[in-house]
């Protein structure tokens, strides 16, 4: 490949990063107009809004994940496994950390990657706000690996309850943070506890599952319209979830959470989902203008405020709207940012004017497993927001994932994947049992 071809490096293969690399591969990589390189610390991609289903075993990431290297070969970009941790603006290069296996054996040394244009799409991680005991005792759902770790513990706990002679014992799970992740996970846990009866764990049921959903604010789903929160809370209470609003956690121990009022909430499994921030290494780079949550400040074209050759998208991007609020960390935000950066990178190579990023809120949907889906739609359908629930809302929720598949696979393969999913439902278990 000629050295005169511009090199575009995308760091992070999440929803926005993978969509961007795919589209740039089609429009620039196919005809060798640019060398597109995607870098991620994982080998496979799982759509982040589905991690709560990975955590319960409703989705098997080995079957539903996208393998970056195979995907890259089909979509005209390159993939490199690695963890980004240093940036040299003057030399236009990034440094990837040494790569080791699970036993600590070296696979690859520290590596340097040069770029002409850099896109940072490293997503977000849970923000524990330095609360004592959280890192030591809680699970998180920031990655596929963390979700699978939670799923293994959950399955072990279900098995223990099923085989225990004392059928009066129960499983206590406490979730801190009643945003979309906490709410959807609560409902999904009840669903899989009932599925276990189909696979020999007949002594296990949702009646033996006690879930505490803890929210420091005045209501669950604080980032969404109040009507959605009210409807979702009503459904959770029907399932038996102990919804604890206006309850601030000050500490975690091996036995559970301790609230600001010194109340002990006992739990066998604890999960923290009470806020997000950009990874701490972004701050350690000492390059960008950042928000308090480590998000990188950008201009109207999604370029970093300190370097026009560096673009930022997704949860790690801080774009301020006209009303002073920031674009929320959602999959739809990453999708729209990826589309804008794709156009601006092509415009840059063709020496054309850049376009300003405009965020459109198309509404929000919360899926309460197989029990209910609630949300509101906005944007092109109506000038106002309107509330939806039930089968229509469920259809719209599933459609969001299909749109993501369409962006990274194209129409033919997305249709083939949908058909194969229907067939696999007949021949494989309804949940992951290993």
CATH number of the domain residue 164 falls in: 3.50.50.60
Span 40-53, average pLDDT: 94
**Residues 6 or more apart whose Cβ sits within 8 Å of residue 204:** 158, 161, 162, 193, 196, 197
Judge if 326 and 414 occupy the same domain: no
Please name which of 196, 189, 180, 211 lies closest in space to residue 54, comparing C-alpha atoms: 189
Q: Give the chain's domain count.
A: 3
Q: Per-residue confidence at 386, pLDDT binned at 50, 70, 90?
A: low
- Predicted pLDDT of residue 382: 42
- Whether residue 148 is contained in a domain is answered as yes
- Predicted pLDDT of residue 207: 86
Judge if 299 and 384 occupy the same domain: no
Question: What is the DSSP code (8-state) at residue 196?
Answer: G
Judge if 319 and 407 occupy the same domain: no
Span 381-387, average pLDDT: 54
379, pLDDT greater than 70: no
Q: Per-residue confidence at 360, pLDDT binned at 50, 70, 90?
A: very high
383, pLDDT greater than 70: no
Read off the pLDDT of residues 75-113 as tens digits, 9 standing for 90 and up. 999 999 999 999 999 999 999 999 998 888 989 999 999
Chosen domain end from 240, 275, 310: 275
- Predicted pLDDT of residue 385: 61
Read off the pLDDT of residues 274-325 as tens digits, 9 standing for 90 and up. 989 999 999 999 999 999 999 999 999 999 999 999 999 999 999 999 989 9
- Predicted pLDDT of residue 381: 40
Judge if 21 and 87 occupy the same domain: yes
Read off the pLDDT of residues 228-277 as tens digits, 9 standing for 90 and up. 999 999 999 999 999 999 999 999 999 999 999 999 999 999 999 998 99
Judge if 39 and 118 occupy the same domain: yes
- Whether residue 354 is contained in a domain is answered as no
Structural domain for 334, as ranges: 7-124+278-349
17, pLDDT greater than 70: yes
- Predicted pLDDT of residue 163: 86
* Cβ neighbours, 10 Å, residue 159: 15
Judge if 327 and 401 occupy the same domain: no
- Predicted pLDDT of residue 198: 81
- Whether residue 83 is contained in a domain is answered as yes
Chosen domain end from 349, 384, 402: 349
- Predicted pLDDT of residue 362: 84
- Whether residue 186 is contained in a domain is answered as yes
Tell me the Cα Rg of the chain.
Answer: 22
Read off the pLDDT of residues 141-190 as tens digits, 9 standing for 90 and up. 999 999 999 999 999 999 988 887 677 789 999 999 999 999 999 999 99
Judge if 168 and 269 occupy the same domain: yes
19, pLDDT greater than 90: yes
Judge if 376 and 396 occupy the same domain: yes
Q: Per-residue confidence at 396, pLDDT binned at 50, 70, 90?
A: confident
- Whether residue 1 is contained in a domain is answered as no
Please name which of 344, 378, 337 lies closest in space to residue 361, comparing C-alpha atoms: 378
State the Cα angle at 245 between 174 and 387, rounded to 5°: 105
Judge if 411 and 384 occupy the same domain: yes
Q: Per-residue confidence at 1, pLDDT binned at 50, 70, 90?
A: very low
Token reading at 168: 């009066």
- Predicted pLDDT of residue 377: 66
Span 211-240, average pLDDT: 94
206, pLDDT greater than 90: no
33, pLDDT greater than 80: yes
14, pLDDT greater than 90: yes
Average pLDDT over the chain, rounded to whole?
91
Judge if 410 and 328 occupy the same domain: no
Judge if 339 and 396 occupy the same domain: no
Task: State percent of the chain over pLDDT 70.
Answer: 96
- Whether residue 254 is contained in a domain is answered as yes
32, pLDDT greater than 90: yes
Q: Which one has a higher pLDDT value, 375 or 357? A: 357
Chosen domain end from 229, 254, 275: 275
Judge if 192 and 297 occupy the same domain: no
- Predicted pLDDT of residue 300: 97
Please name which of 229, 232, 253, 251 lies closest in space to residue 241, comparing C-alpha atoms: 232
- Predicted pLDDT of residue 378: 58
Q: What is this structure's pTM? A: 0.91
31-35: Cβ within 8 A, 24+ apart: 32/1, 32/2, 32/5, 33/5, 33/6, 33/349, 34/5, 34/6, 34/7, 34/8, 34/349, 35/1, 35/5, 35/6, 35/7, 35/8, 35/78
């Amino acid at each position: 490949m000629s050295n005169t071809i511009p090199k575009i490096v995308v760091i992070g293969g999440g929803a926005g990063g993978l969509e961007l690399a795919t589209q740039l591969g089609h429009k620039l990589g196919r005809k060798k107009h640019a060398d597109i390189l995607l870098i991620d610390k994982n080998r496979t991609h799982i759509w982040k809004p589905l991690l709560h289903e990975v955590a319960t075993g409703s989705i098997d990431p080995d079957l539903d994940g996208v393998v970056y290297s195979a995907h890259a070969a089909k979509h005209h970009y390159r993939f490199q496994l690695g963890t980004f941790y240093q940036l040299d603006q003057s030399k236009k290069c990034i440094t990837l950390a040494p790569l080791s296996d699970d036993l600590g054996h070296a696979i690859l040394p520290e590596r340097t990657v040069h770029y002409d244009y850099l896109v940072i799409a490293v997503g977000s991680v849970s923000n524990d706000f330095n609360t004592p005991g959280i890192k030591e005792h809680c699970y998180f759902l920031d990655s596929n690996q963390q979700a699978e770790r939670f799923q293994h513990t959950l399955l072990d706990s279900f098995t223990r309850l099923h085989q225990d002679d004392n059928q009066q014992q129960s499983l206590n799970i406490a979730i801190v943070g009643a945003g979309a992740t906490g709410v959807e996970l609560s409902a999904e846990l009840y669903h899989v506890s009932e599925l276990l009866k189909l696979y020999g764990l007949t002594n296990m049921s949702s009646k033996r599952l006690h879930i505490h959903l803890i929210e420091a604010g005045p209501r669950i789903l604080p980032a969404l319209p109040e009507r959605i929160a009210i409807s979702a809370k009503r459904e959770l209470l029907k399932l038996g979830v102990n919804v604890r609003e206006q309850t601030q956690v000050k500490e975690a121990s091996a036995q559970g959470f301790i609230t600001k009022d010194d109340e002990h909430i006992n739990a066998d499994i604890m999960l923290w989902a009470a806020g997000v921030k950009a990874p701490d290494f972004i701050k350690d780079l000492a390059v960008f203008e950042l928000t308090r949550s480590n998000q990188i400040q950008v201009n109207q074209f999604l370029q970093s405020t300190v370097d026009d050759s560096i673009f930022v998208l997704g949860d790690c991007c801080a774009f301020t709207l006209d009303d002073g609020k920031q674009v929320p960390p959602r999959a739809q935000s990453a999708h729209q940012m990826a589309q804008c950066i794709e156009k601006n990178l092509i415009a840059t190579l063709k020496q054309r004017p850049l376009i300003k990023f405009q965020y459109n809120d198309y509404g929000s949907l919360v899926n309460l497993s197989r029990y209910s889906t609630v949300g509101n739609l906005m944007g092109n359908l109506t000038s106002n927001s309107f509330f939806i629930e039930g089968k229509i809302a469920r259809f719209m929720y599933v459609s969001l994932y299909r749109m993501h598949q369409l962006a990274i696979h194209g129409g033919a393969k997305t249709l083939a994947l949908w058909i194969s999913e229907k067939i696999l439902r007949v021949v494989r278990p309804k949940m992951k049992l290993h």
